[in-house]
Structure 1
Amino acid sequence: MEIRQLKYFLTIAKCKSITKAAEILHVSQPALSKMMKGLEDELGMTLLLRSNKSNELTDAGEIVMEYAQKIFSEIDNMTTTLNDLTNLERGEIKIGLPPIIGSLFFPNIMADFHKKYPNIKMNVTEYGAAKVVKSVEDGELDLGVAVLPVDGRIYNIYPIVEEQMKLLVHHEHALASSKKVHLKELRDEELIFYHEDFALHDIMWKKFIQIGFEPNILFKSSQWDLMSEMVAANLGVTILPESICNRVTNERIRIMDFVPITPWNLAVITKKDKYLSYAGRTFIDYISNHSSTRIGYNFKL
């Protein structure tokens, strides 16, 4: 078994397509298919269920993917540790940022960090917060920004933002004149909600279930500006973090508190048993020492 075989297999697993994986890897599809067939023959098991539309993993394929991810994570740890011995002002950080969070808080701080450490490369991947957490656990990312809570047994947690969620309604809505709304008053409302891969989806869904009903979801989006503009068009109501609400300027929207109070707390996370490079530690220290006035937002650290 070769490392290259496992690398190519992981690419196919992520793409769910030999054709797409071949394009990414810059190899011919027949050559890639032959290599995967060789890996299957060596292991004596089928790893991929092949069809014209997609390539799904078998149970054996899922196991091979899990161990392959661990292998490459350890290789990355070794390479990073060795690089730290000789290149203390260089390196690469693989960072996971949820789209909403990234656009709110990180452009300025990443620009300032790059000016101070121009030889440290920041490789940013945009995932929903839930996928950021899983990718940090799997070793795909060095660090990520997550919505709390996360499992403190698995991750090092560096809190950065503490806020509350707010309710947005159209200015002619029956609740528009209220100073504070209870979520139970939204039982019959149509909600502009978040996609399932966003942590906010589960946070708010559980909150509604605790009150006693499932939210009536009209539309799902990952774009806060689209969500707020749908409220402005009187298509429904939505719930967004305070920092996002501070950017909403449409006069047709009313923003208010609601109960039960729902926190929106963010943290940088790293995996506890994964070696964190000098570059990664430097980035976390930089955030910790970066004042809220320079960042321009409500950073805790």
Structure 2
Amino acid sequence: MLFLEIRQLKYFLEVTKHKSITRASESLHISQPALSKVIKGLEEELGMPLIIRTNKTSDITDAGLIVIEYAQKMMILMDEMSTTLNDITNLSRGQIHIGLPPIIGSLFFPRVLAKFHQKFPNVTINITEYGGARVVKSVEEGEFELGVAVLPIEEQKFDVYPIVEEEMKLLVHHNHRFASNEFVELAKLKDEEFIFYNEEFALHQIMRDEFINQGFEPKILFKSSQWDLMSEMVAANLGVTALPESICNRVMNPDIKIIKLQPAIPWKLAVITKKDRYLSYAGHTLINFILNEKQFFHYN
């Protein structure tokens, strides 16, 4: 019978995260020899090596990969136990872990969270910024209690609470051949050079799929994670891009023209949670608050 400690698994996950006992010990604020002793004890208890130690890094063995998978599940269960107990004993306090794509966080959530904090000052909100695709994956894996994602997603895995629906718009330089157009057909963008979000962002795949449906692979010249950099590249006449309407409302550069796309490409946002996972009282409260305060999601 195995006698594993949660502390051993937590420390092991930290080592695998950093791929270094030295960096993991710094993160955990314990000495390197003490951490090495814990990992060695875990390996002895399991009867097999979990990491391969070298001078510069710690590689994971096949057995280590299996332990990572189960250790992550155990950490999620421990978090759920702690959250459930907190709900039972003290409903006036709470903690929420939420994943936000940077573009969405900067557009909508400062005003929403400010008002939520005024109403529920004892609820702590821990925000991590990831691209939309990674937010979805992290909610599924249990890293976040809830996240904000760009639809569509695999809805059979998630509970989905829609909050925003608007259109993508085309941004071109004011001297571009389409600058005077009211709208541009997607098929006519075949020869354009594009500035895209990088692959971590849901918009990358959404836009790429739309162009492929029109019969061509978009020519991607630059990739970025920052909408303001993308728009400034358009202003410098380095290419064209497509951004959600809310972001276009923030673009004030006179060298940029904003044009409708035809057919229209929807940009839909939703709060998501993993199906059948326990959702804290604080998490429920935040979702209900967001759904009741949708005026905050119409950026002008």
Question: What TM-score results when the alignment is normalised by the length of structure 1?
Answer: 0.93
How far the C-alpha of 1:4 sits from its partner, in A, is: 0.8
Aligned twin of 1:5: 8
**Post-superposition CA distance 1:156-176 (Å, at most 9, x none):** 110000011111000001121
- Are residues 1:100 and 2:75 paired? no
Unaligned runs of 5+ in 2: none
Q: Which range moves more in the overlay, 214-223 or 153-162?
A: 214-223
Aligned-partner Cα distance in 2 for 1:161–1:288? 10
Aligned twin of 2:137: 134
Task: Give the counterpart of 2:272 among 266, 269, 273.
Answer: 269
Aligned-partner Cα distance in 2 for 1:72–1:205? 37
CA RMSD of aligned residues (A): 1.8
**Post-superposition CA distance 1:246-301 (Å, at most 9, x none):** 11011110111113322110000111111111111111111111141xx26169xx
Return closer, same or farther for 1:46/1:201 CA change in 2, 3 Å cut-off: farther
Q: Which range moves more in the overlay, 28-37 or 91-100?
A: 28-37
**Post-superposition CA distance 1:222-254 (Å, at most 9, x none):** 111111011001111111111100110111101
- Are residues 1:155 and 2:183 paired? no
- Are residues 1:212 and 2:211 paired? no
How far the C-alpha of 1:52 sits from its partner, in A, is: 4.3
- Are residues 1:114 and 2:117 paired? yes
**Post-superposition CA distance 1:63-87 (Å, at most 9, x none):** 2212111111111111111111121
Unaligned runs of 5+ in 1: none
Aligned-partner Cα distance in 1 for 2:212–2:45? 49
Aligned twin of 1:230: 233
Q: Kindly indicate whether the alpha-carbon contact (under 8 Å) linking 1:95 and 1:123 is maintained by their aligned counterparts in 2.
A: yes
Return closer, same or farther for 1:125/1:225 CA change in 2, 3 Å cut-off: same
Aligned twin of 2:298: 297
Task: Give the counterpart of 1:254 among 242, 245, 257.
Answer: 257
- Are residues 1:173 and 2:181 paired? no
Q: Which range moves more in the overlay, 53-62 or 225-234?
A: 53-62
- Are residues 1:282 and 2:285 paired? yes
How many residue pairs were aligned? 297
Q: How is 1:72-83 mapped onto 2 (pairs within 5 angstroms)?
A: 72-83=75-86
Aligned twin of 1:190: 193
**Post-superposition CA distance 1:102-131 (Å, at most 9, x none):** 000100010110011100001111111111
| Partner amino acid, structure 2, of 1:83 | N
| Partner amino acid, structure 1, of 2:298 | Y
The percentage of aligned residue pairs carrying the same residue is 65
**Post-superposition CA distance 1:47-69 (Å, at most 9, x none):** 33444444343333222212111
Return closer, same or farther for 1:58/1:255 CA change in 2, 3 Å cut-off: farther
Return closer, same or farther for 1:83/1:66 CA change in 2, 3 Å cut-off: same
Q: Which range moves more in the overlay, 93-102 or 74-83?
A: 74-83
Aligned-partner Cα distance in 1 for 2:297–2:203? 23
Question: What TM-score results when the alignment is normalised by the length of structure 2?
Answer: 0.93
Aligned-partner Cα distance in 1 for 2:19–2:44? 20
